Structure 1
Amino acid sequence: MDEPLFRDGDRVCLPAPAALLPCRSHPESEGITAHHVQWVRRSLPFLEEPQLQSLLGAHYDRWVCMCFPDIARDIAEDLTNLVTLMFLADDLTSRPGRDTSSVTHTRAAYDALLDVMQGTRAHPRSAGQLPVSLLTLAGELFGSIRARMPTTQWHRWANNMRAWAEGAIQETAVRRRGKPLSFAEYLTLRRHSVCVTPWCVLGEYGLGIDLSAIAEHPAFRDLIGAVTDHALLTNDLHSFRAEHYNGDDINVIAVLCRAEGLSLQGAVDRTSMMIHDAEHSFIQQRERIRSSSMGSTAEMHVYFQALGHLLAGNTRWSYLTGRYHGNGYEWNGALSGTITLTPDCTVRLQEGTA
């Protein structure tokens, strides 16, 4: 049996982020949050109060408000509800420790989600661990988005959602096998299972632009690839405590420790450096496209800024979300310094603050 990555009460030093990209929140964030709290309590009656508190403590509203600060309020409200349902669906299906976290159950759940997205399941029924009420809500949100999205953009988004679902199913299969991953295997798997590319398309939608004509251009794909790497490494860096206690080793910290023999501190330092590198890579690729004919349009300039907000917002959210740091967690504003790892929460010492 593998030694645990760390023991209760162990400490690790978290390096400061690169913070090369500006972070700001939606100007109507308070109203979006209030709307979201009401929607969660009204729309998810199958959850008990502790589950509702946990869901609200994840601050998915703040993720949307910081990642997409320039989109219309009504779209921000829809996207906040959508990301909440997507995280909830993931928790109910493919998380380790659940009796139903088999590949068969995971595929049934994601197939049902994709069916309601496409409108091919007129009367949703429960699938995997996804209740009818969740699938019905998802269908309403998908329908609202589809009604306002250009057709080509909708098909792109739907294809990206299908690819994400297949990645999540594959991750479940790898988790069930229990075979340790090399870093290269981990990165290939996570690039498919992390839901970044669909949200890049939703960023276009929220801004009222459609970049479908250049979406397959190698330079554009490389740019989205840099966004994906930054986001998945950032999320894994901040979630490794929670995932360790949930028995999940498909995380960059666990992989670097087990496959490459790094200490916990060494894995945290290596991951932080990779995030720095991904941020620099994003900026370099963005500037190369900006200086080309493809990047000279007003739409592209707006989108360049939006992708920067997505990375900065996702980073800031990763510091404050109870999803990673425990129920009732309140971030103290520290961006770097020593953290203590406990089963209940991350304990962060206030050193480098935002």
Structure 2
Amino acid sequence: MSQTALFKQMIRSKFKNTPYKLNFVTTAACNSKCVTCNIWKVYLDNPAVIKDELTLDEIKKIFDALPDTISWLSLTGGEPFLRTDLADIMIEAQKRIKNLKLLSMPNNGLVPGRVISCLKKVLADKNHVPIIITFSIDGPEEIHDVVRGVKGGYKRTMEAYAQVKELTKDDPHFLVAIETTISSRNVKYLYDWFEMLFKQGHKISVTVAHEAYLYKNTADQLGISPKEHIEEIKRITKLFNKYLSVINPKQFMERLYMKKIPIFLEKNNNKQIVPCQSLSASIAMNSFGELTPCLMWDKKLANIREYDYDFKKVLALQLTKDVRQMIKEEKCPNCWTPCEAYQSIFWALANGRYLTKR
């Protein structure tokens, strides 16, 4: 999977001062019941609001009007595959986003049939852009099922994962991986499991649990941060360094991300690990069209419906410029999630600042 075209767009985005990545929360619907996240409660508590989600026709208008620097579309949730029109969204993105170079998406794998039927429709176009699909698996079977809140979930997710790997095994532009959220609930059970997966040849990436806007858990004080287990995380990081290549761009970024997790946790979340590029390199939109700087911060910029579905109009707002400056001044909640960190790591590397401890 070549990253050259995407890297060129990243540089172009910086000089045009418009984002290259759109984080799009396709739906708040979720069929997991994670102890680390409350987004699955959104429609249980208020089922009527699902009717207010962006329609496919609205999403087409948004894609048509995106800045020409947008080259990376991340489709997240909730559970993206619960949208019955997800295949259409993926297909329309490739038709309408002029410089799209990468589609990425996490999923919980709990609806294997829907995952496979959706991807078959998307992959009918042999010239599709590179696609990365990750399956959320949060530890060995017993731990995963407790953390994700679905009995038998591990087996169903692994079934979907295996089916997608088989479906895409001959496709050089499709990457399938396991993604694990490290939290206080599972950190003690991961090392041996990770080592087993690596030895079996699986690709693995990680993120660290946050209490944040996307996860609807900021008010609950769930105690999900693994900050009391920094030494174990350092041990896990050494294991990943053994298996992740320094010459593979994606794996190299993952190594750098993991290296900073202990520093983030030790700093008690009060200072950016590297200068954050949200609203410079990326922007986020939820399933109702509300725009925020990122998935972690509930700082509302606008609703895209009120601006003719045109991101450029929102990016030109004085509020957007003011919030971008707030981020530069570190007046944001601060996070260390791959959704935002990878863009920040890239630009810190480009400026020779990544290796500097903050």
Give the TM bin, normalised by the shorter chain: 0.3 to 0.5
TM-score normalised per structure 2:
0.33
Determine which structure has the larger helix proportion and give its number. 1
Bigger fraction of residues in strand: 2
* TM-score, normalised with respect to structure 1: 0.33
